[in-house]
Amino acid sequence: MMRIPMTELTSQYTSLKEEINNAIHRVIESGRFILGPEVEGFEREIATYCGVKYAIGVASGTDALIISLMACGVKPGDEVITTPFTFIATAGAIAHCGAIPVFVDIDRRTYNIDPNQIESKISNKTRAIIPVHLFGQPADMDAILKLSAKHKIKIVEDCAQALSAKYKGKEVGSIGDVGCFSFYPSKNLGAFGDGGMIVTNDSQIAEMSMILRQHGVKSTHESVMLGFNSRLDAIQAAILRVKFKHLDNWTNLRRQIASLYSQLLTEVEEIEPPYVEKNNTISASYYTIRLRNQLIDRDSLRQYLALKNVATAVHYPISLHLHQVFKTFGYKQGDFLESELAQEQVLSLPLYPEMRNDQVIEVVDIIKEFLRR
Ligand SMILES: *Cc1c(COP(=O)(O)O)cnc(C)c1O
């Protein structure tokens, strides 16, 4: 039996080999390796795609978050509200600014931050909210926009898993004050290394981000603030520009695979397929199910699938408030019950654009087989 991996990163290259090789050679021969025309071209393409005025290429999605927060004026001692059910980098970025991550529990159905619980966590130190569009499902932005307007706090969208997702028809990243994307190889649009992008309509945030990514240097050689070395490589930008043309097609394939999974799994009582808000369009970056029945042992299911050559992953096994690194913030087990329940029950199944229907059927059949035993 063929192995079914979580994600597959070589076939995209195989299908675009010549074009990608040419793009890489073009950069090598140009001698422009950092920023330059390839990065500027890619920035324009992303800005157009997202429908925003500015896009700023940086070294990673994590850096996009850190720089965005700083550009929004987040300072040491400030508070930034976010979800505990996300990748570590979301809250890590807050802590890197010297700010305090203030977690708000998630909505059980969407796994995204529960907007109804945000307001009670807003204090006079709250500077920003980071909604995460987890697994490519847009967060409830209207409710968050209202709170942001009422309390004058910035919204930094973590779109690392959500490029090509739409909230009520609008591209994610263009809804809050600033959006952050990641081009980590396994994301929907993956580089051959690290990369990230900041998008915004706010000229001040855009200017601050450009300054911060380059040692705090404005236009002259004088540094006006403490910055970073966080720029997008020209080779990565050139590769990404080739792949970007296929993103919508790949996302559509992902969506089709996700809906086939859901169709096949609705009849399986023990499993809750991902919920999709009807006004939104998902990017289907992960296909994450919930094991409804407390009696199903997730590890045994994973082992069974592994034995049958099917890879799985858990996004995420530890809620952020329970990570050792955030101990200093004083959180404890039991603080965010929905997030803690999700960490025990979720399971991500293989999903990549090239995945065939018969492979999806096979994965579901193996799950059913396990549940019947
Ligand atoms: C991948 C990811 C990041 C970080 O992106 P990098 O490019 O790996 O630094 C941040 N937040 C979320 C939700 C992610 O999935």
pLDDT higher than threshold 90 for residue 294: no
Q: How far is CA 228 from CA 66, 113, 142, 212, 283, in A?
A: 10, 30, 33, 6, 30
Q: Quick count: other Cβ atoms within 10 Å of Cβ 85?
A: 29
pLDDT higher than threshold 70 for residue 1: no
Place of tokens 């403490």: 226
Sign, Cα dihedral of 181, 182, 188, 194: positive
pLDDT score for 295: 83
Q: Pick from 90, 94, 156 the residue to mutate for probing ligand 1's pocket: most ligand atoms within 8 Å of its CB.
A: 90
Q: Pick from 80, 112, 158, 182 the residue to mutate for probing ligand 1's pocket: most ligand atoms within 8 Å of its CB.
A: 182
Residue 51 confidence class, pLDDT cut points 50, 70, 90: very high
For residue 313, the cross-strand partners are 348
Gap from CA of 221 to ligand 1 centroid (Å): 31
Gap from CA of 358 to ligand 1 centroid (Å): 31
Residue nearest atom 7 in ligand 1 by C-alpha distance: 61
Gap from CA of 370 to ligand 1 centroid (Å): 33
Gap from CA of 158 to ligand 1 centroid (Å): 8
Q: What is the mean pLDDT of residues 212-228?
A: 91
Q: Which atom of ligand 1 is nearest to the CA of 64?
A: 9
pLDDT score for 174: 98
Q: Which atom of ligand 1 is nearest to the CA of 89?
A: 10
pLDDT score for 373: 86
Q: What is the mean pLDDT of residues 209-220?
A: 93
Q: Which atom of ligand 1 is nearest to the CA of 194?
A: 7
Q: Quick count: other Cβ atoms within 10 Å of Cβ 358?
A: 8
Q: What is the mean pLDDT of residues 153-162?
A: 98
Q: What is the mean pLDDT of residues 91-98?
A: 98
Q: Cα–Cα distance between 163 and 133 in angstroms, integer?
A: 10
Gap from CA of 71 to ligand 1 centroid (Å): 19
Give the tens place of pLDDT for each residue, 227-285: 999 999 999 999 999 999 999 999 999 999 999 999 999 999 999 999 999 999 999 99
pLDDT higher than threshold 80 for residue 346: yes
Q: Cα–Cα distance between 82 and 297 in angstroms, integer?
A: 30
CB 215 within 8 A of CB 229: yes
Gap from CA of 132 to ligand 1 centroid (Å): 10
Give the tens place of pLDDT for each residue, 176-193: 999 999 999 999 999 999
Residue 218 confidence class, pLDDT cut points 50, 70, 90: confident
Q: What is the mean pLDDT of residues 190-199?
A: 98
What φ, ψ does residue 358 adopt, rounded to 5°? -65, -25
CA atoms within a 13 Å half-sphere pointing along the CA-CB vector of 81: 28
CB 42 within 8 A of CB 244: yes
pLDDT higher than threshold 70 for residue 119: yes
> Which residues, judged by CB distance below 6 Å to any ligand atom, belong to the binding site of ligand 1?
60-62, 86-87, 89-90, 132, 158, 160-161, 182, 184, 194, 196
Residue nearest atom 1 in ligand 1 by C-alpha distance: 160
CB 205 within 8 A of CB 176: no
Q: List, in order of start, the domains of the chain with CATH numbers.
A: 10-244 (3.40.640.10), 247-372 (3.90.1150.10)
Q: Cα–Cα distance between 346 and 336 in angstroms, integer?
A: 16
Q: Which amino acid is at 357?
A: N
pLDDT score for 26: 97
Gap from CA of 351 to ligand 1 centroid (Å): 18
